[in-house]
Chain A
Amino acid sequence: QKEVEQDPGPLSVPEGAIVSLNCTYSNSAFQYFMWYRQYSRKGPELLMYTYSSGNKEDGRFTAQVDKSSKYISLFIRDSQPSDSATYLCAMSEGGSYIPTFGRGTSLIVHP
């Protein structure tokens, strides 16, 4: 079993929908949780960064961390075709900051 599990999708939604992307993990030492967005043929770019449990909101994006369930989520409100990309979750331990990545979920938002 991989340390970080993420459904590869693809997830196809209509424009304006609320999107929910999720990851589960097995390493209870993870404390830092990140979401990256990767457009086709481009490098990943950091979207959201959360420490420990709780919610964090940035515009249309909300990141949630539930450490007791070892489950993290990214919600996208009012999704747009420009949100079509692969979303990778990543997490790292406190003492070592190299993230472990999920395999990414491909999101397609159609007009």
Chain B
Amino acid sequence: DTAVSQTPKYLVTQMGNDKSIKCEQNLGHDTMYWYKQDSKKFLKIMFSYNNKELIINETVPNRFSPKSPDKAHLNLHINSLELGDSAVYFCASSQAYGTSTDTQYFGPGTRLTVL
């Protein structure tokens, strides 16, 4: 039974297109995150939602828009895709943001390739 799931697993698209990635967690967690892992393997936080409210918004182009319809889901919509958006995008969730022993559980990742 998958704890954090993402769809699609792979996404290949042309520059300029708009695409969405979906994330769902069945752990009952309050907080969800989007991370980007580039080709050099650096994992960087993009957004975080706590109880459907945006709490972290790192320096990310406004072409990226997260949406949390409920606590169990956090989707990422990307407009006007660029070559530099090619990366692996990871969704994660945790029990409660801001607690010292909060553990993040990661999804399997969505490998986005922009041609």
Complex alpha-carbon distance, A73 and B48, angstroms: 28
- B→A interface (CB under 8 Å): 4, 33, 40-45, 48, 56, 90, 92, 97-109
A44 near B41 with CB under 8 A, answer no
B101 near A101 with CB under 8 A, answer no
Complex alpha-carbon distance, A27 and B92, angstroms: 24
What residues of chain B lie closer than 8 Å to A51, measured between beta carbons? 100
Selected from A42, A45, A99, A103, the residue in CB contact (under 8 A) with B41 is A103
Complex alpha-carbon distance, A97 and B33, angstroms: 12
Complex alpha-carbon distance, A44 and B4, angstroms: 12
- Closest CB in chain A relative to B80 CB, distance in Å: 27
B40 near A103 with CB under 8 A, answer yes
Selected from B4, B42, B108, the residue in CB contact (under 8 A) with A101 is B42
B109 near A41 with CB under 8 A, answer yes
Q: Does A111 contact B (CB under 8 A)?
A: no
Chain A residues bordering chain B, tally (CB within 8 A): 20
Which 3 residue pairs across A and B have the least CB separation, nearest first? A43-B106, A101-B43, A104-B41
A98 near B45 with CB under 8 A, answer yes
Annotate A35-66 by CB proximity to B: 1 below 8 A, 0 otherwise: 00000011111100101000000000000000
A101 near B109 with CB under 8 A, answer no
Complex alpha-carbon distance, A69 and B97, angstroms: 29
What residues of chain A lie closer than 8 Å to B40, measured between beta carbons? 8, 103
Complex alpha-carbon distance, A32 and B102, angstroms: 11
Q: Which residue of the partner chain A has the closest CB to B6? A: A43
Q: Does A22 contact B (CB under 8 A)?
A: no
What residues of chain A lie closer than 8 Å to B106, measured between beta carbons? 43-45
A-B contact sample (11 more), CB < 8 A, given A8-B41, A44-B106:
A41-B108, A42-B109, A43-B92, A44-B90, A45-B105, A49-B101, A97-B100, A98-B45, A101-B43, A103-B42, A104-B43
